[in-house]
Amino acid sequence: MPNKDNYLALGVEPSFNKQHLLKLARYKMPFGKYKGDYLSDLPLAYLLWFQRKGFPQGKLGDNLREVLEIKENGLEGLLRRLREDFRTESG
């Protein structure tokens, strides 16, 4: 994970929130073919389909949008790592 000091040296405050990312990493698909799968484990093609057809309203749609952006930037490993770290920390 990027060091906050590296951002500050550039005069930029990091905009990520670990608690928010942890919730996003643990959010599961509530319906359909991928019911019970973590959003970050959904295939990119499925997320792109939602983008074309329209994301659901509310938190699920917001989370799907965020996961799509994370995947498009090659950062889905970050969410997996957060899930693994949380399991380790919580026992």
Q: pLDDT tens digits for 44-87? A: 999 999 999 999 999 999 999 999 999 999 988 888 888 888 77
* Pair 22, 86: CB distance under 8 Å: yes
Question: Helices (H), strands (E): how many in the chain?
Answer: 5, 0
Q: Looking at residue 24, what is its pLDDT?
A: 93
Per-residue confidence at 7, pLDDT binned at 50, 70, 90? very low
- Extract the tokens encoding 78: 């970050």
Residue type, 62: D
User: Could you tell me what percentage of the chain is helix, strand and coil, using 3-state DSSP and rounding each to the nearest 5?
Assistant: 65, 0, 35
Are 73 and 28 contacting, i.e. CB atoms less than 8 angstroms apart?
no
